[in-house]
Copies of this chain bind each other. A is one copy, B any other.
Amino acid sequence: MNSPAFDHNLYAGCAAQIISHTRELAAKGFTPATAGNFSIRMGPEHAAITISGKDKGHLTEADIMVVNMANEPVATHHRPSAEAALHTHLYRRFPDVGAVLHTHSPTQTIAGLLHADEGRVRLRGFELFKALRGHTTHETEFDLPVVPNSQDMDELTASVDVVLTQPNTWGYLIAGHGLYAWGRDISEARRHLDAFEFLLGCELEMRRLRA
């Protein structure tokens, strides 16, 4: 008898958490027109990830598949989204990362476009830096990396790989495409995502008001 491809109880728990978070993120307008993708690591070999093209505000377990760390589907006929490569890249690079959330809010899309040439959004003086694991004060600068968008996933993954030089970065923007945020589990990834959305929103607002 073959052992099962993955632990189905673990999968069911991951799917339920993804569904719960995506419902909230869709309600905030972070997943327009089926954009966005969300995953939770299932051990060293697998991740549960949302299937492409689904309305992220109304997911069911059928909309979540399992991939391995080479982006191959596991025990399903569904094909993973091209963007699954960006999730598995983070799982392979950082063994302690347990969840990756990719959203597409207006703030995230615009902040990436405006800072694409600089290659980063430089933030200063926010108390909410302390919501990012490893950061303990507002009296510092925090650089959120920005990479150019590409339809070639190998090119895009390579661009991302070179900008992740600082510890405790927890996110990056793709210009005109949105934000990737991660953490040790989905609650932490979500806290990081919510913090980045807030900080980027403040930064854009300061830019409007200081001009």
Binding site for B on A (CB under 8 A): 32-35, 104, 106, 109-110, 113-114, 125-128, 131, 136-139, 149, 151, 174-178, 191-192, 194-195, 197-198, 201-202, 204-211
For this chain, the copies found in one complex come to: 4
Q: A104-B128, A137-B151 are in contact. Are A32 and B202 (CB under 8 A)?
A: no
The reply to whether A34 and B176 form a contact with Cβ atoms under 8 Å apart is no
Chain B residue at smallest Cβ distance from A187? B55
Q: A138-B176, A204-B209 are in contact. Are A128 and B198 (CB under 8 A)?
A: no
Give bound CA distance, A209 to B106, whole Å. Answer: 13
Chain B residue at smallest Cβ distance from A31? B194
The reply to whether B106 and A198 form a contact with Cβ atoms under 8 Å apart is yes
The reply to whether A202 and B128 form a contact with Cβ atoms under 8 Å apart is no
The reply to whether A194 and B32 form a contact with Cβ atoms under 8 Å apart is yes
The reply to whether A35 and B209 form a contact with Cβ atoms under 8 Å apart is no
The reply to whether B176 and A33 form a contact with Cβ atoms under 8 Å apart is no
CB < 8 Å: which of B139, B177, B205, B208 contacts A138? B177
The reply to whether A202 and B106 form a contact with Cβ atoms under 8 Å apart is yes
